[in-house]
Amino acid sequence: MSQNRWLATGNFFTSYKQEQRTFFTHLDRTIFTCFLVILFGWPLVFEISNKYMLVLDNILIAIVAVMGLNLLLGFAGLISIGHAAFVGIGAYTVASVCQVIGENHVIVTHFWPVLIVCAGIMGAIFGAFVGLPALRLKHLYLAIATLSFQMIFEWVIQFMSFFNQGQTIYVGRAHWLTGQVGRSDHYLFWYYIILTIVVILGFGVRNLLKTKYGRCLVAVRDNDRAADAMGMNPGLTKVYAFALAGFFAGVAGALHAYLYRGVGFESFTLHASVGYLAMAIVGGLGTLNGIFWGPVAIKFLDIQVEQFSEFVGQYLTSAPNVATALKPLSFGLVIVLFLMYEPRGIANWWRIVKSYTKLWPFRY
């Protein structure tokens, strides 16, 4: 490592420990700390409406879900098109507790952190179970297996009376140290909670990738036979990759349930699974910062398309379903363009910007 810990100009690592640092320079650590301070501090300075705070909460929940999908698809190379079903498992874990003991029971309202962790564990159990076909299946065949899980999940929720046949199951309002979280502070409260969870899980993923378990994921993705020859267990690695993805999705589902104070079937359909897949691809598969770029870009695109549809709808009154047509069109177009021209996602743009600023004002 360079002697100057503030502005390193090259890679002069003398040990593996140095190479695996979370922050290469003091400048990186300072910028990241300032960024966190801004994320936690801006709601105290600026006031925005609940509508936009809900959008931010949704982006943060999507980041948690995409973290798991990126571990599975980007780092372990295992495709899944049933990720929304795993998110649904987490949400319906909370909903099931509410159905059994009541939505305003003290366990639901006061012990919500425990319920969120339990939802993650339930997602991990289902993830490990769905990952069993990965012992024998690859690529398109594995994708079909995960699609089957998505279909089974939708069928169970829609036809079981316990889950109110897909209709909304209400979740009680959470309590904090100061008492019940009121209606006006609801979205702000969950912004801080979800942001804290994102930071913790983000560091968790970063540290996991530095361990032998994280390196096993990458080794199995690159060549499972070579990984097997080197003493790793590819089958067990694939199953635990699905379990990890299920845990992240389960946590995201529980957060979704508490944020909306209810669980409905329409949030966990195949369309939502494709959405999570698009976020992972657009952000950048197999990259840590791509986990954050993808959900931000797709959610921002959704908002812009919705506003454009309303604008067009004012002049094309004979075409009332403009929004219905524009959303999937723009969505599919963005995915195709990224796959064709930037398969490494927005994370690659971030890498280019960082490389340029590292050399600035020199070009080489």
Q: Which CATH number fits domain 27-269: 3.10.20, 3.90.120, 1.10.3470, 2.60.120?
A: 1.10.3470
Q: What angle do CA 215, 67, 64 make, to 5 degrees?
A: 145
Residue (of 265, 299, 264) closest to 65 by Cα position? 299
d(CA 249, CA 86): 6
Asked whether the predicted pLDDT for residue 77 surpasses 70, the reply is: yes
Peptide bond into 133 cis (omega under 30): no
d(CA 2, CA 12): 6
Extents of the domains making up the chain: 27-269
The per-residue pLDDT for range 287-335, each reduced to its tens digit, is 888 889 989 988 888 888 878 777 777 776 655 566 667 777 877 888 8
d(CA 226, CA 30): 40
What is the SS3 assignment for 212?
helix
CB-based burial label for 87 (10 Å; 0-12, 13-18, 19+): buried
Evaluate if pTM is beyond 0.85: yes
The per-residue pLDDT for range 196-211, each reduced to its tens digit, is 999 999 999 999 988 8
